Amino acid sequence: MEDIALFFEMINKLDEPIKLDEPIKTDISEMVNSDFIVTINKNANFSNRVNEFLNKIDKIISTSFGSAILYIVGELSDNIEQHSEYSNAYLFLKQNLKEEIVKILIYDDGLTIPLIFDKNSINFSEDNEAIKMALMGTTTKKEDISRGFGLSSTKKIVNALKRKIQIISRRGFLEVENSRVKKKDLDKEIRGTLIFIKLKTPEKDLNIYPYLE
């Protein structure tokens, strides 16, 4: 678990350059006690490690809500494998049955969203704008223009559940909560991309297909 400890040591150091709001920092820091944690380094079989994580989720949340979580984790993990050129990636899931809340944290130390846009000559003015563009569906995959890093569909599902997604990538920070957007650029950049998602268990079955690209 040494690599997990090092990861959260890094998260705690983010407070100075990012000036995280206390609720955000608390949410992220609490993920150290997640129910499921998977770490993936560049020498590991990425698909096997992600499938191990997804199978654990499926066993405890085998509902339409579980399907939404599986889709989100699967899409965002696939983006890491295909785009980021990571050395290390981390997947966390924490379930609070009493509050009916599920929290997901996904981080990789590879290429950031703004840097990938730069490399593909996609224009933007600030890093937070690049993140917003990815959420709106802008993609670097010419053969599949609807993908948008998988973030577009993820955002729609999060909005349907009236909860929040927070993304930090290079200098950009963006939060969407109940369809309200908060964004800014940071004084310093971080390595890689961090995505934190907080979901409330829906009162009725959720059909995710209308939200998929």
Alpha-carbon distances of 169 from 53, 163, 205, rounded to whole Å = 23, 20, 33
Structure confidence at residue 35 as a pLDDT band (50, 70, 90): confident
* Integer-rounded Cα radius of gyration of the chain: 16
Q: Over the chain, what is the mean pLDDT?
A: 82
Report the pLDDT value the prediction gives residue 127, as an integer from 0 to 100: 96
**All domains of the chain, ordered by start, with CATH?**
2-201 (3.30.565.10)
Q: Would you state the structure tokens that stand for residue 46, as one six-digit string?
A: 């990425």
Does this model's pTM top 0.75? My answer is yes
Of all residues in the chain, what percent carry a pLDDT higher than 90? 31
- Pick from 62-66, 80-84, 132-136: least confident: 62-66
The residue among 105, 106, 102, 104 whose CA lies nearest residue 61 is 102
Estimate the crossing angle of helix 151-160 against helix 127-135, to 10 degrees. 70
d(CA 150, CA 152): 6
pLDDT of residue 108 exceeding 50, the answer is yes
- Nearest-CA neighbor of 102 among 209, 206, 200? 200
Q: What is the pLDDT of residues 148-170, one digit of tens each?
A: 447 888 888 888 887 889 998 99
pLDDT band for 1, please (50, 70, 90 cuts): very low
Return the closest-CA partner of residue 206 out of 66, 100, 70, 54: 66
| Positions of E strands within the chain | 36-41, 88-96, 101-108, 164-169, 172-177, 180-185, 193-200
